[in-house]
Amino acid sequence: MQDAAELSQNHPYLDGYQPVAGVADELYDAQGRMRPVWRPFVEAFSRLSPDEVRARFGRADQYLRDAGVYFRQYSHDPNTDRDWPLSHIPVVLHEREWEAISAELAQRADLLEAVMADLYGEGRLVSEGHLPAELIAGNRAWLRPMVGVRPRGGHYLHFLAFEIGRSPDGSWLVLGDRAQAPSGAGFALENRMATGRIFPESFPRARIHRLAGFFSDFRTALGELAVDDHGRRQRVGILTPGPANDSYYEHTYIARYLGIPLLEGEDLLVQEAQAMLRTIEGPEPLGVLWRRIDASFADPLELDPGSWIGTPGLMEAIRAGQLAMVNALGSGVLETRALMAFLPRISEVLTGRPLDLPNIATWWCGSAAERAYVLDNAERMLIGPAKAVNLPFDLAAATAPGGDFHGLARPAVEAWIEAEGGLLVGQEAVTLSTTPAWREDEGADAPGGHVRPCPMTIRVFAARTPQGWTFMKGGYARIGPEGEPTALAMQRGGRVADVWIVSDRDVPPLTLARRGDAPFRRQAENTLPARAADNLFWLGRYIERCEGAMRLVRSYHLRLAGIGTAEDPRLDRLDAFVTGFGIDLSEPVPGALIQQLDAARGCAAKIRDRFSTDGWLALQDLAKTARQMTQTAQPGDDAAGVMRVLLRKITGFSGLVHENMYRSEGWRFLSIGRALERADGMAALIAAFVEAEAPAGSLDLAVEVADSVITHQRRYRVETSRETVVDLLALDAENPRSVLFQLGELKHQIEALPGAVEAGRPGEILRLLLPLWTALDVAAPEDVTSGMLGEIRAGLARLSDLVSQDFLR
């Protein structure tokens, strides 16, 4: 046995680490000996100086911030994202223990599949009295349209998660099953990436099992599920509720990581009972949806009619066996708390075997004996809604911990249980094991900290493959606060940690890229979903529109500062011009500009899976800065300065996109949006500032807004005249600000779009564009009249409609 003094001498960070009596601890066994599986980690960690610890933790936090990992609070305010609460010390488990847990949970996964098949099939569990009818028939997650439906591929469940905790005797316990649309697997990946920044050394890293194999196997399984009866490979998608969802970040991350398109309900349509993905090349058959939306929202026609995020007709495709859902709609019923009370018996009935890994003891208050037991033992119970689907420690308002219901006296609890009966369950208030978590020392003058025992649970992920269930060799740990390690404490917790499954020897390296089956990857990248194209198109338009507005506002305030009064014909003209775009120049940072930036951000948010993190952060920063500056900006020089800052940021964003974005169809739509907006803005500017009756100085103003002052000087070496300005801003094919240049860009991009050329002849969009481009290409400055510019603008508006109609719906 190791002496505690010796321990703390060798491992100063462990000084004072004192597991609670009667509680299992991950680091020390019951005899107070450090578990061998932790030893390499503890040795390595103890060698780090406090400054090193600090620096490494900082690297992990920096990684998470740079990656844009955030934790969305339940709120519609986009500013409530908070930093990812990483607990920097991983949970360490030996692979033998993990294999045992996995094998036991595989039995449970099979059992849940069998329960699904019964609840949506024969209904024997109810008719033979193993499950009360009211728990199912009165359950919102049990979806009647699914009754009698055989899922494509033959299975209801493909991806599951289990929340497990360790009991005081060292054995494991299932606290909850996640079967609806389990989250956390992507966050587990991010925790691993971040923790890798803290412990980059090859030892003990080489002995930690990788996570990639699990995802690779699952992606392959999804691909196989997408092969139709004729051997054709259909498309796979991830269905998200959208940016307002609290785990949207994870959806985008998983989609990018696996190379599977992230879809929303409006990306899909159902035709002849076949789910189709709307793409820029028309609808394409979709065979598998990994859904991250609750099933009841999936189809407003047959499920919740109030759903705006679903796809009408989806149920029809499922019923026809044409669409596999991961998991099948209706799987949420398996999360019902009260089901835990019956699963031990159901396991015996359906499989002839007891549960290998028991779940948290649960009593349904619908029958008299159980109700009496719960009443007699209320102090050791969590009492809550029977049909709730949250985990026992995610306390709902109506859960009574330890029999103490919002401070009500015991008689009130009794009355409550008697009155509600079958609506309630009691669950044992289990005690969880503790695991090391870092705590900074008090007092800023002595930088450093110690590890302390904190309660934890682990989320385990399982995926179905043709060979059976496969388990992630790792997990998503939740760490509660130090103190009493009851399940209850977890809800006040709120830190998360990586889970290391450690082998006795080096594990072979494995990355997703190497294992990924190439045909599936290629297919996933081919045709662009129409909604993504639409958002990219509008992102291009909004960004260009913002940039144009910023230049106009800057010119206005520069002149205002120079002249000292707003009483000036040039300023009047500028004011009238921008008023046409909804911009109010009496606001130094116009509200219309903020709205456009928000619109751009909204478009980008919907396509984050196709968009670099740097680009996204740059856009976030731009919108935030603009918003902050509305508070302080003053008219004149100050406002001009603000616009200069914003212009620098927006061109930075455009540069990132232009330099870094893969030249895919998506990039093409972004470019079309941008070119269209720029050509239109320039045509409008020329018409307003270059025409004959424009006030003196207007020509210089136009050149300035067009960011072409230097070019003009170099090209013409004369004062601005109508001819030189029109030549430069409308007709110069080498000036990226000119209308002709942008029409050429449009022509170039549109020619590359699918179907742009029909049977060797230009299609409708090109037939519209080519005359505009040709007319301008051969025009002399005097030909460029406001009438011609008006025609170009009308043509561009029509072109935008045609692009939307042909590709974006």
Partner 1 sequence: MLYDVKLTIDYAYDAPTDRARNLVRLLPSDIAGEQRVLSRLLTVHPMPPERSERVDFFGNSVTSLVWHGPISEVVFKVVARVERLAPAPRLDLSPPLGLFGAELAGVQSLAPASPHHFAAPSRRAAPDPAMTAFARDAIAGAPTVLAAVEAVGRAIHATMRFDAKATDVDTPATEAFANRHGVCQDFTHVMISCLRGIGIPAGYVSGFLRTVPPAGQPRLEGADAMHAWVSAWVGAEMGWVEYDPTNQMWAGTDHIAIARGRDYDDVAPVRGAMRGAGGQESRQAVDVISV
- Positions touching partner 1 (CB under 8 A) are 119, 123, 126-129, 132-134, 136-139, 144-145, 147, 269-273, 300-302, 304-306, 312-313, 316, 366, 809
Which residue's CB is nearer to partner 1, number 145 or number 590? Answer: 145
Which residue's CB is nearer to partner 1, number 117 or number 174? Answer: 117
Closest to 771 measured CA to CA, from 804, 799, 806: 799
Q: From the CB of 132, what's the least distance to partner 1, in Å?
A: 8
Contacts of 464 (CB under 8 A, 6+ apart): 109, 155, 157, 158, 159, 221, 470
- Residue 261, phi then psi, degrees to nearest 5: -65, 140
Q: From the CB of 300, what's the least distance to partner 1, in Å?
A: 6
Which residue's CB is nearer to partner 1, number 129 or number 508? Answer: 129
Q: From CA 434, how far away is CA 456, in angstroms rounded?
A: 6
- CA angle 325/358/353 to nearest 5° reads 80
Q: From the CB of 410, what's the least distance to partner 1, in Å?
A: 25
Which residue's CB is nearer to partner 1, number 147 or number 752? Answer: 147
Q: From the CB of 148, what's the least distance to partner 1, in Å?
A: 8
Q: Nearest 10 degrees: CA dihedral of 65, 71, 73, 76? A: 70
Sign of the alpha-carbon torsion through 370, 371, 376, 378? positive
The end-to-end CA distance of the chain, in Å, is: 71
Which residue's CB is nearer to partner 1, number 123 or number 635? Answer: 123
Chain length of the chain: 809
Which residue's CB is nearer to partner 1, number 367 or number 786? Answer: 367
List the strands of the sheet with 400-401, edge to edge: 362-364, 424-428, 381-385, 400-401
Q: From the CB of 142, what's the least distance to partner 1, in Å?
A: 9
Which residue's CB is nearer to partner 1, number 367 or number 664? Answer: 367
Which residue's CB is nearer to partner 1, number 72 or number 319? Answer: 319
H or E segment to which residue 325 belongs: strand 324-326
Distance (Å) of CA 436 to CA 45, 450, 493, 535: 12, 9, 14, 45
Which residue's CB is nearer to partner 1, number 136 or number 684? Answer: 136
Q: From the CB of 286, what's the least distance to partner 1, in Å?
A: 16
Q: From CA 628, how far away is CA 622, in angstroms rounded?
A: 10
Q: From the CB of 364, what's the least distance to partner 1, in Å?
A: 12
In this structure, are residues 314 and 270 in contact, taking their beta carbons and an 8 Å threshold? Answer: yes
Taking each helix axis from N to C terminus, what angle separates 248-258 and 212-225, rounded to the nearest 10 degrees? 80
Q: From CA 386, how far away is CA 399, in angstroms rounded?
A: 10
Q: From the CB of 136, what's the least distance to partner 1, in Å?
A: 6
DSSP character at residue 480: -
Question: DSSP letter string over 648-663?
Answer: HHHHHHHHHHHHHS--
Q: Which two tokens stand for residue 564?
A: 């000292």
Q: From the CB of 147, what's the least distance to partner 1, in Å?
A: 6
Which residue's CB is nearer to partner 1, number 273 or number 656? Answer: 273
Taking each helix axis from N to C terminus, what angle separates 530-563 and 637-660, rounded to the nearest 10 degrees? 150
Q: From the CB of 417, what's the least distance to partner 1, in Å?
A: 16
